[in-house]
Amino acid sequence: MQTLAPHEYGYLAELAKCYRDEHLAGLKQQAHFNPRLGVDALCFQHIESRISGASVMAGALITPCELWLVALPEQSALQAPLESQCALTLPSGRYSLQLERLPAGIELYKRKILEDLSDLETLQETARLAQRMMEQLMTPNAVPQG
């Protein structure tokens, strides 16, 4: 797996902050809200797929309620506006993701993988969960999620 550049880590931190700021009030209203967790973008890596002509990083977005598969097209390289959904091809199969536009101009595609993280006790557990998810998605012959 290729190491990300420092500016990419900064962009992922900004993504997590913007997502938290946009969604935290709604997340707190959910019955399975886990106050031990925060919002974090983890396990991102460059993948072969392109979206609107741009290179893509894929990874996990953890919230106090959910685990998301996220695809981040390189904003500066987009050749066309992003569609409302995309099909992301990973070694394990093709996955349908929905576009979300966050403040600060961040556009991402996401697909919910787990909806209830209330049983997780620590941030380290969420990091391990995100790592396992990405390992499975990046391994050929995993079951595609449609």
Tens digits of residue pLDDT in 55-78: 999 999 999 999 999 999 998 888
**From CA 113, how far away is CA 103, in angstroms rounded?**
23
H/E run at residue 137: helix 123-137
Burial class (CB in 10 A: 0-12, 13-18, 19+), 78: middle
What pLDDT score does 80 carry?
A: 87
H/E run at residue 27: helix 6-28
Number of C-beta neighbours around residue 87 at 10 A: 13
Write the pLDDT tens digit of every residue in 1-14: 568 999 999 999 99
What does the angle CA 37 – CA 128 – CA 105 come to, to the nearest 5 degrees?
60
The full set of domain ranges for the chain reads 6-137
- The superfamily CATH assigns to domain 6-137 is [NiFe]-hydrogenase assembly chaperone, HybE (3.30.1460.40)
Q: What is the pTM of this model?
A: 0.90
Tokens matching residue 30: 């959910």
